[in-house]
Amino acid sequence: MAERMIVIGGDAAGMAAASQARRRRDRDDLEIVAFERGRFTSYSACGIPYWISGLVEERDQLVAREPEVFRDEFDIDVRLRHEVTAIDLDRREVVVRDLTAGRELREGFDTLMYAVGASPRLPEWARDEVQGVFGVQTLDDGAALRAWLDADPAPRSAVVVGGGYIGVEMAEALIQRGLAVTLVEQAAQPMSTVDEDMAALVADAMRATGIEIRTGVEVTGLTERDGRVAAVVTADGPIPADVVVLGLGVRPNTGLAEAAGMPLGPSGALRVDRRMRVVGVPGVWAAGDCVESLHRVSGAAVHIPLGTHANKQGRVAGINIGGGYATFPGVIGTAVTKVCELEVARTGLREREAREAGFEFVSVLTESTSRAGYFPGARPMTVKLIAERPTGRLLGAQIVGRSEAAKRIDALAVALWNGMTVEDMTSLDLGYAPPYAPVWDPVLIAARKTVDALLR
Ligand SMILES: Cc1cc2nc3c(=O)[nH]c(=O)nc-3n(C[C@H](O)[C@H](O)[C@H](O)COP(=O)(O)OP(=O)(O)OC[C@H]3O[C@@H](n4cnc5c(N)ncnc54)[C@H](O)[C@@H]3O)c2cc1C
């Protein structure tokens, strides 16, 4: 009889695992059933802000693979609108609620793939039944927000609560749709994924596009009119809002796993080994936004919910379930985003993280340009490097600039991944031609200045 694999969660991690397992084992050997509580599989949540803004025209452009493709080409039985409500490890069964038919099923498994992602953090005040408040995590969430924005009369004012990268991308999307947008952030700057000096550049650029930013302000409640949101309440007074978007970060969806007795790590996400097996739970695998990863620089277990990790981890799990051998080597915190015209990138540790990890370091900010200074379209670029003192090992890097800035982080990520020192980096053979870089690329200038700082 075929072994039975059940996948919970039909997006990046879950379907990557399912497809990889199927590539190695046919249906007679492995039956695969995937439960997804939403209406979509393998969609790009990362693309939601660009569909909300209108840059991406059709919702279905964000769907990489429809359930039919999984059924017909991969022989994977995808069941949409099916929510797993419990895992019974003793009986090797999951309890599933068919949300369309309104009935409950129990389904047995030999192998379980837990890939349920994360959920937006919900403050107390957002739990009331007031309409017009949206977290954005799944394509269903995006579709609900888009329907609210497309309604007649259309909302005119928006408040984004929280200035993480999702909040910042959503603020951009909403201003591009013509709404009056206020971003409310409790900290001193939005964009807390980079250091404050770099985040200040992001805040300036956002203000220049018309987004109002209120920092050091906490939202404590909502006011409503006929059950619909009318304003957010803050200590500074109410801010009108026909729509509220939550950008307060996410929490790993560990509830089902915890209830089944699976272990959580220090980050609060599920503990897995390097082959993506849930630690101490035979036959159960997990990947994506619900698990923690090893940070290769700090050595800490971290929860960094990104699509890039979810896809790689799901692939690793699937290869192993399929009988192959693969490991996930950890993360270094590389991330890029775009805020209006500004590109923002980071890799490795921020100053605070380097301090918390116990490193002695120097951190150096360098201003340069994206192209040769005389070449049309050359734009300013700020690069910040953090290097261990006295070894000079690169610990972290951040870039804020306009065109051609963000993806320069990849060179720095490769250097950091390979443990290079800033001294080594000064002679890296990076490409140069006036339309692409100054003769000393911003990355090389930053490395040189950091070497100087280490010698001081
Ligand atoms: C607006 C936005 C922008 C982003 N931009 C980027 C970016 O630019 N770069 C990047 O690397 N990452 C980005 N991300 C993060 C990225 O989308 C996630 O890291 C990735 O989707 C995680 O994949 P996952 O499969 O672990 O979880 P998810 O994509 O969240 O999928 C989990 C699935 O499980 C389903 N599910 C949950 N519980 C159950 C249950 N009990 N039963 C059945 N199904 C269940 C959910 O409906 C969901 O479809 C962005 C995310 C958002 C929201």
According to DSSP, residue 47 is labeled G
To test the pocket of ligand 1, the residue of 20, 36, 63, 246 to mutate (highest count of ligand atoms within 8 Å of its CB) is 36
The response to whether residue 289 sits with its C-beta less than 6 Å from ligand 1 reads yes
Compute the distance from residue 247 Cα to the ligand 1 centre, in Å. Answer: 14
Residue nearest ligand 1's atom 15 by CA: 306
Bridge partners (DSSP) listed for residue 157: 180
Query: Within its chain, how far is the Cα of 225 from the centroid?
Result: 34
Scan for tokens 């909403």, then name that residue: 174
Give SS3 for 322: coil
| The pair of three-digit structure tokens given for residue 203, joined into one six-digit string | 């805040």
Dihedral angle over CA of 179, 219, 117, 150, nearest 10: -20
> Is 310 close to ligand 1, i.e. is its CB under 6 Å away?
yes
Nearest Cα residue to 265 out of 285, 283, 292, 287: 292
Q: Looking at residue 340, what is its pLDDT?
A: 84
Check pocket membership of 245 for ligand 1, CB cut-off 6 A. no
Q: From CA 276, how far away is CA 273, in angstroms rounded?
A: 5
* Coil, helix or strand at residue 223: strand
Question: What is the structure's pLDDT at 413?
Answer: 98
The amino acid sitting at 322 is G
Distance of CA 59 to the CA centre of its chain: 19
Cα–Cα distance measured from residue 18 to residue 254, given in angstroms and rounded to the nearest whole number: 20
SS3 291: strand
Sequence letter at residue 299? G
The answer to whether the CB of 166 is under 6 A from ligand 1 is: yes
Task: Write out the chain's pLDDT in tens, 456 residues.
Answer: 899 999 999 999 999 999 999 999 999 999 999 999 999 999 999 999 999 999 999 999 999 999 999 999 999 999 999 999 999 999 999 999 999 999 999 999 999 999 999 999 999 998 878 999 999 999 999 999 999 999 999 999 999 999 999 999 999 999 999 999 999 999 998 998 999 999 999 999 999 999 999 999 999 999 999 999 999 999 999 999 999 999 999 999 999 999 999 999 999 999 999 999 999 999 999 999 999 999 999 999 999 999 999 999 999 999 999 999 999 999 999 999 998 889 999 999 999 999 999 999 999 999 999 999 999 999 999 999 999 999 999 999 999 999 899 999 999 999 999 999 999 999 999 999 999 999 999 999 999 999 999 999
Ligand 1 pocket residue status of 252, Cβ below 6 Å: no
Distance from C-alpha of 18 to C-alpha of 318, rounded to nearest angstrom:
6
Q: Ligand 1 in contact with 38 (CB < 6 A)?
A: yes
Residue whose pair of structure tokens reads 């609900």 in the numeric block: 144
**Residue among 93, 70, 80 nearest 17 (CA):** 70
Q: 297: how many CB neighbours lie within 10 A of its CB?
A: 25
User: Which residue has its alpha carbon closest to ligand 1 atom 3?
Assistant: 46
C-alpha 18 – ligand 1 centre gap (Å):
16
Å from CA of 390 to ligand 1 middle: 40
Cα gap 235→231, rounded to integer Å: 13
Length, in residues, of the chain:
456
Q: How far is the CA of 290 from the centre of ligand 1 (A)?
A: 9
Taking the C-alpha atoms of residue 426 and residue 440, their distance in angstroms, rounded to an integer, is 10
In the prediction, which pLDDT does 403 show? 87
- Mapped onto helix, strand or coil, the DSSP state of residue 7 is strand
For residues 332 and 126, give the distance between their C-alpha atoms in angstroms, rounded to a whole number: 33
Predicted confidence at residue 1, as pLDDT, reads 86
Distance from the CA of 424 to the center of ligand 1, in angstroms? 38
Q: Which residues are tagged catalytic?
A: 46
Nearest residue to 312 (alpha-carbon basis) of 282, 297, 334 = 334
**Ligand 1 pocket, residue 116 CB under 6 Å:** yes
Dist CA 202 CA 227 (whole Å): 35
Q: How far apart are CA 24 and CA 330, in angstroms?
A: 24
The pTM is what?
A: 0.96
Burial of 80: CB neighbours in 10 Å, binned 0-12, 13-18, 19+: middle
> In sequence order, what are the residues at sequence separation of 6 or more whose Cβ sits closer than 8 angstroms to the Cβ of residue 152?
none
Q: What is the 3-state composition of the chain as percent helix, strand, coil, each rounded to the nearest 5?
A: 30, 30, 40
Angle in degrees, CA 187, 191, 194, rounded to 5 = 105
